[in-house]
Amino acid sequence: MLKSQTSGDAAAEARSFFSLLKSGRATLPQIRSQIGYHTPYRRRILLCFDVLRGEVTPELRTAILSLLRANSLLAVSHKLSVPYKVVRKVSKEGHARFHKIGRGRKLASETEECILDRIRADARSVDLRREFGVSDWYVQKLRRSIGDTENRLFRRGWNEQKVKEALQNGLSISEVERDCGIQHAVLWKLRKKIGDTEDRRPRRRGPPSSPTFASD
């Protein structure tokens, strides 16, 4: 009965063992002993068998919580051939979202408040991502929650007020870029934001007039 090695076959064999148990042709200790626990495949069958019996054993709970550290609920369900609702229940009871590695985890409220404090102190997104191991999307979500819509990920060190003053003084685009250290695309967006529609292209001078000579 234990020939194939796929997760789908593990679930199928677990159902076969469960049928033996329901029919009374074997006792629970006999079946568990026959399945064994000495290879990953046999352990998978045993876990599926326990799920069919409606029992979440300590072994199954440990396996689910361990995989949830780096996998989604659906992925764990497929890996262990365990129903999704069982994995979800164990995840909730074990607070698995607080112990995830990388994306998909749930941060504690204290950590979120610490990130918000850094945001209020004008910290850059890239620094927050490195320090707390969160995504840029998550940082922007927290920023929006307090009304801060600036994405500091690509901040280059230019001062917005200085750029506005340079534009008000009538400097050309190239002069503003050089003096304020701002990129052309960023300057274009800022001008659009503040409604600056003035044509600041350098004006070409006409060709010098030809010399005229007095006629005799």
Could you list the residue range(s) of the whole structural domain that residue 147 is in? 109-154
| Cα–Cα distance for residue pair 48/32, rounded to 1 Å | 12
Mean pLDDT of 171-198: 83
Mean pLDDT of 150-177: 76
31 versus 211: the higher-pLDDT residue is: 31
Mean pLDDT of 17-32: 86
Q: Total domain count for the chain?
A: 3
Is residue 29 located within the same domain as residue 84? Answer: yes
Radius of gyration of the chain (CA): 33
Is residue 25 located within the same domain as residue 59? Answer: yes
> Which residue, among 142, 159, 140, has the nearest Cα to 151 in the 3D structure?
140
Q: Quick one: pLDDT at residue 108?
A: 72
pLDDT, tens digit, for every residue of 45-65?
Answer: 887 888 788 778 888 888 888
Is 140:125 a contact under the CB 8 Å cutoff?
Answer: yes
Inform me whether the pLDDT recorded for 201 exceeds 50: yes
| Cα–Cα distance for residue pair 45/120, rounded to 1 Å | 52
Is residue 14 located within the same domain as residue 91? Answer: yes
| Cα–Cα distance for residue pair 146/125, rounded to 1 Å | 15
Q: Is 149 part of a structural domain of the chain? A: yes
Q: Quick one: pLDDT at residue 12?
A: 84
Is residue 88 located within the same domain as residue 44? Answer: yes
Inform me whether the pLDDT recorded for 70 exceeds 80: no
